[in-house]
Amino acid sequence: MITKQYFGTLEDGRDVYNYTMRNEAGMTVRICDFGGTIMEVRVPDKFGRMSDVVQGYDSIRDYVLDTAYIGALIGRVGNRIEKGKFRLEGKQYQIYCNNNGNSLHGGKVGYSHRIWSVKPVDGEEPKLILNLVSPDGEEGFPGTLNITVTYALLKSNALSIHYHATTDQKTVVNLTNHAYFNLGGCSSGKIFDHVLQMDADAYLPTDETLIPTGEIRSVTGTPFDFREPKTVGYDFDLSDYDLNLAGGYDHCFCFTGGETKDPTLRIEVYEPNSGRLMQVYTNQPCVQFYSGNFLNNPEHPLKGGYPQNPQAAFCLETQKMPDAINHPNFTDTVLQPGETYDYTTVYQFSVR
């Protein structure tokens, strides 16, 4: 079942709506057309009690002013581009710099702050088909990009996100979603007790502005080794250079063997108090694991007036490597005319 609800009006007079999908098992997912944002994901705990496990805001104003990209679709290039510069076909491009002298999550006005068209498709597994056309030159990127993102609520209590994009000129693309999860419930406190396991054998060290240095480093012997389950807080306070630079985890993890043809189980997160388990399937080669280190804006409280607090939620942004266009040894983010950008990430919820 899908219901549509008015959410607010932007300063330019455009109305904003959200869409709530429900399956027969009782799971609900709410998506906003502003930013294609995941506003709510309600799933049961081990006692059958339903809770919202993603962060969000109560008003459209907070989403408009948000700088944490909470729940939003990210593009044209998610993550960072050093100094907003890259070369393509012998031409230099300059993207707006909005983060420590670098370009982050699409520039000044990324897809996180655009209104997407939404086509609801009801049924046993309801879905929302979102579309956005990003014109040639928008934010400095070459080529007109036609993007379709399909959110599907599966009967198995999973949220599937399918990304599809085509271009009329050679361009760069790295789409993702920036949902902030807390499996104990969105207002349940820190996420240090969440048990995380990732099939990632390498990570990308960064400089002080969180731009990758170009090295692809093995996780062996580092706090970035989650190949065996451990709590997020287990190594959090170690005196590790990369960890300390970011104030926690905010790094690209490289999945073992790289990109796959079909979505593959790569990540498991378990919250022991609620018993909730989230499994992440994707065919992307990497994930940015972010431990919510900059959730600290007192002017924009979260849902229910809950204050922002660092490490009160985590992100698992499946994607290709950040700043890849400037590193020949990184994953390829170039999209050619005639090619299709085609990736799927599934967040599967259950209890243990």
Where in the sequence numbering do the catalytic residues fall? 178, 317
Planar angle of CA 103, 109, 113, nearest 5 degrees: 125
Pairing of strands 15-22, 2-9: antiparallel
Planar angle of CA 125, 129, 133, nearest 5 degrees: 165
Which has the closest alpha carbon to 18: 10, 30, 2?
Answer: 30
Planar angle of CA 128, 132, 251, nearest 5 degrees: 85
Which has the closest alpha carbon to 108: 127, 94, 90?
Answer: 94
The DSSP annotation for 228-284 comes to S-EETTSSTTS--HHHHHHTS-EEEEEETT---SS-EEEEEEEETTTTEEEEEEE-S
Element (H, E) at 286: strand 286-290
Planar angle of CA 158, 254, 232, nearest 5 degrees: 65
Compute the distance between CA of residue 44 and CA of residue 46 in angstroms, rounded to an integer: 7
Sheet holding 50-52, edge to edge: 2-9, 15-22, 28-32, 37-44, 50-52
